[in-house]
Structure 1
């Protein structure tokens, strides 16, 4: 996964890849989720080997950025690490007259990262809420060293930020001292260099930091974000990753590409990158 982190960072989470679609031609634009951008880039790279007429532009920036681009008709596909909001849906309908079409494209076990030297191995949802809202401020309160906790978070245009705020913080604000990072790769780098640090991000970015097991409640078993635990729902912070588009554009090369993403071949790449493939019932045949 490290090579994809480095690729994302070096390109500023943006790449333009020449891709072909057998029998079709043109340009497909993909914009949005930073969580998805390394997977989107890899999908494009592999798809390029088998096709030669279609160009695909992949850009990150955050799920909110992707939805804004979809509303403004400046992207064909919006990548998202959270479901579309009602206000965003209304804006899309106002823009192109139809409800945007949603495709689930992968699963993720949203992971909690600490420095590799941190003795902590697990945390409950309640403890995470207290850490990220500033109620717990010292690692000794969690059985660690007498050292202040440094919280790393994402910018508010990030779908991961919004998912974490809704499901872990229960809508509360992040602690005001949280260090806001421009992307998941930057957040991981910060945590991996800070013995006091803690942050969160997609499973595919975990190289270089320690991943904590998560407990749904204080008396629940601690669960790792493995493929088995995510697919079974045992890991409490799992989510789908999505593509959204204007239904009028779901044809020709765009439809072919989206179907390939959800095929067995496309889903193998999901696993190679570090996320978790869709169950068979959700795959394209």
Structure 2
């Protein structure tokens, strides 16, 4: 009887340990580019671990970093790398730099209305359009008509990435229509025949992604899994999770590891982004 009681106690302790490894509440906040993927990850993970509750919200990469600094989120989603000033703010808040995890790959797409005959643009042409130097579609081989520029707001990591890598740090044209999220931006582009905008690869409904040329003499490359992962598509990027190292344990660590596992990366592809290469996955 004593041996049986001991065995039951051991089994109970093992189960309790397994449950405690996942039990709890995880808060995820930040990138609007990542929010649809983050919501799907949370939904699937909670289905497998009902004792863990995961709350996901967007607002932009900057919002996620601010929440990480103020300890209002466990995980910050970001569509750009963290800035040195944000790292320093985290160090002041919790005495360590946040831990960075690459979680997916994105081909940042340039979208036009489905009725627009333009199929491709160069990076130089994109810079001209989004800074206001090029104002009419006929200047880039399209119909005679004004170009309507749609952009993300300046708290967006996608906005900052596009400004740095495509506009080379120049300001967006003052007439650009700012959208709070990529879904809202795509709604505008889908209804405006003269529109052009940009956003994550998973948000293409209602508009058409252009082929992009590095320069006038290069071949236009369309964003797809092959061209993004082999980095021939010119506007590719990683998507990130950032976490306070002190919180990177227990259920948070288990969740972050699962995101980077083959199972988590399968969801990346289902949502419309591109999975991490094998060397960056969690085994």
Please give the TM-score of this superposition, normalised by the length of structure 2: 0.93
- How far apart, CA to CA, are the structure 2 residues paired with 1:207 and 1:52? 32
CA contact under 8 A between 1:33 and 1:62: conserved in structure 2? yes
C-alpha distance 263-21 of structure 1, shift in aligned 2 (>3 A): farther
Residue from 50, 53, 57 that aligns with 2:51: 53
Deviation at 1:52, TM superposition (A): 1.4
Q: Any unmatched runs of 5+ in structure 1?
A: 1-19
- How far apart, CA to CA, are the structure 2 residues paired with 1:229 and 1:215? 12
CA contact under 8 A between 1:108 and 1:275: conserved in structure 2? yes
- How far apart, CA to CA, are the structure 2 residues paired with 1:22 and 1:206? 40
CA contact under 8 A between 1:21 and 1:257: conserved in structure 2? no
Deviation at 1:143, TM superposition (A): 1.0
- How far apart, CA to CA, are the structure 2 residues paired with 1:211 and 1:54? 38
- Equivalent residue number for residue 215 of structure 1: 213
Asked whether 1:253 is paired with 2:246, we answer: no
1:3-37 superposed Cα distances (whole Å, 9 cap, x missing partner) = xxxxxxxxxxxxxxxxx977431110000000000
Alignment length (residue pairs):
266
Deviation at 1:49, TM superposition (A): 1.5
CA contact under 8 A between 1:22 and 1:52: conserved in structure 2? no
- Equivalent residue number for residue 182 of structure 1: 180
What is the CA RMSD across the aligned residues, in angstroms? 1.0
Please give the TM-score of this superposition, normalised by the length of structure 1: 0.92
C-alpha distance 119-52 of structure 1, shift in aligned 2 (>3 A): same
Larger radius of gyration: 2
Q: Which runs of structure 1 show a deviation greater than 3 angstroms over 4 or more consecutive aligned residues?
A: 20-23
Deviation at 1:73, TM superposition (A): 0.4
Aligned counterparts, 1:114-133, within 5 A? 114-133=112-131
Q: Any unmatched runs of 5+ in structure 2?
A: 1-17
Deviation at 1:208, TM superposition (A): 1.2
1:162-191 superposed Cα distances (whole Å, 9 cap, x missing partner) = 000000000000000000011000000100
- How far apart, CA to CA, are the structure 1 residues paired with 2:25 and 2:232? 40
- Equivalent residue number for residue 232 of structure 2: 234
